[in-house]
Amino acid sequence: MYFGLSEEQQFFQESVNKFLEDTVTVDALKAYRTGENNQLTEIVFDGLNELGLSGLIVPEEYGGLGLDSLFAISVSESLGKGVAPYPFIGSFLIAPFLIDQLGNDSQKQKYLPGIATGENRFGVALSERTGRRIDSSIEYTNEELNGRTLFVMDDLDSTHYLILDSKDNVHIVEATDSGLQKIDLKSVDITSFISELNLTGAETDLLENDLSNKDTIQSGINLGRTAIAANTLGAAQCMLDRSVEYSKERKQFGRQIGSFQAVKHMCAQMASDLEPCYSLAWYAAHALDHIPDESHLMACQTKAHLSEVGSSIAKTATEVHGGMGFTDDLGLHFWFKRIGLNRQLLGSPDLLREEAADVQGI
């Protein structure tokens, strides 16, 4: 019996962490924000793809590494820790998962190898199942796609879009399609890429498969939610680590602020809240591949719980840093904002708890 990340997974995490520490510095992020460093996203994209992230879960026969959900979730944790501006969860988890599950052989052959190399970049539009608003819906009629979808995930220089319609069909639309208009949305988190798509008679490659779409789409959403939760886990751990570091350095009243119980207890509370989240995320990831009966509930509860813990740590860690925590200078806010966006993507914690109750028949 072994419950946790394997040595290989930890080693892989370390490579990702190292790359991000060197590349995605606070200065680099600030320069990216002001337009002085436009290449940051491409450098990160190429660097992480070289480590194998784009093909991480793509089956080996299509040129990927064919790794499992736990592996994917551990990588997502590292990407949160390093607040990576990288379209992992949508482009390289949900898209290849759904294409592999729902696509026919020629569709898999057409898209998956390109995903593995990073040439195919998918923005992922799931708002039909994860928060449809009154002014947005996607209809598939006469072999055309019409309507609007909001909060398309991981839309960074997308070559394709994976779009869910109101009847649980999954479509692939090329970014160059004349019936597709993309509007970039700007969230507080400049390291994530979300957009709105307006479709008027867009041409679609419909994924067809014998499997029941509804369940498979749910599995894709479960994967996405668990990965987002892990991403928050990593970001929160980084904020805690920085708080501990800062409270050892910073002196007031003639002593390290970390020697005051008021500060100490804030740090201890963060650690106590966060430690069990590792176990929760690992179990949820394990359930995705091995305990299908629990995976929907686990995904809802894991993302809901980590959203709460993450938000609480984002606030507390900022407070531990005092006034500096509030500055752009220190850049702690990049993690605060990542946690903030993650909290809302694919379902806010309140909605997820409601869904969790429904799943269990409570």
- C-alpha dihedral, 330 to 334 to 335 to 336, nearest 10°: 90
Nearer to other proteins, 121 or 303 (CB): 303
244 part of the interface to other proteins, by CB under 8 A: yes
Nearer to other proteins, 169 or 232 (CB): 232
Specify the pairing of strand 194-203 against strand 205-206. unpaired
What single letter denotes the amino acid at residue 343?
A: R
Query: C-beta of 360: minimal distance to other proteins in Å?
Result: 9
Nearer to other proteins, 185 or 268 (CB): 268
**Tokens encoding 298:** 């686990």
CA 8 vs CA 12, 67, 174, 275: distances in Å = 6, 11, 36, 21
**Burial class for 209, CB neighbours closer than 10 Å (0-12, 13-18, 19+):** middle
What's the rounded Cα separation, in Å, for the pair 92 and 252? 46
Query: C-beta of 252: minimal distance to other proteins in Å?
Result: 13
What's the rounded Cα separation, in Å, for the pair 151 and 159? 17
Nearer to other proteins, 40 or 257 (CB): 257
What track of x and - describes contact with other proteins for positions 35 through 74 (by CB under 8 A)? Answer: -----------------------------------x----
Query: C-beta of 264: minimal distance to other proteins in Å?
Result: 4
What track of x and - describes contact with other proteins for positions 294 through 323 (by CB under 8 A)? Answer: ----x--xx-xx--x---------------
Positions 263 through 282 that interact with other proteins (CB under 8 A):
263-265, 267-269, 271-273, 275-280, 282
Stretch of 92-100, 104-112, 165-173, 348-356 lying at the interface with other proteins (CB under 8 A): 348-356
Positions 17 through 36 that interact with other proteins (CB under 8 A):
none
**Tokens encoding 60:** 């080996």
Reported as type and span, the H/E element at residue 150 is: strand 144-152
Which one-letter DSSP state was computed for residue 153?
Answer: B
Q: Which of 177, 198, 209, 260 is in the footprint of other proteins by CB under 8 A?
A: 260
What's the rounded Cα separation, in Å, for the pair 268 and 251? 19
Query: C-beta of 116: minimal distance to other proteins in Å?
Result: 24
CA angle 216, 198, 128 (to 5 degrees): 30
Q: What is the DSSP string of 52-96?
A: T-TTSSS-GGGTS----HHHHHHHHHHHHHTT----IIIIIIIHH
252 part of the interface to other proteins, by CB under 8 A: no
**Tokens encoding 107:** 């569709």
Query: C-beta of 265: minimal distance to other proteins in Å?
Result: 4
Per rule CB under 8 A, count of chain residues that contact other proteins: 47
Binding site for other proteins (CB under 8 A): 1-6, 70, 244, 247-248, 255-256, 258-261, 263-265, 267-269, 271-273, 275-280, 282-283, 286, 290, 298, 301-302, 304-305, 308, 350, 353-354, 356-357, 362
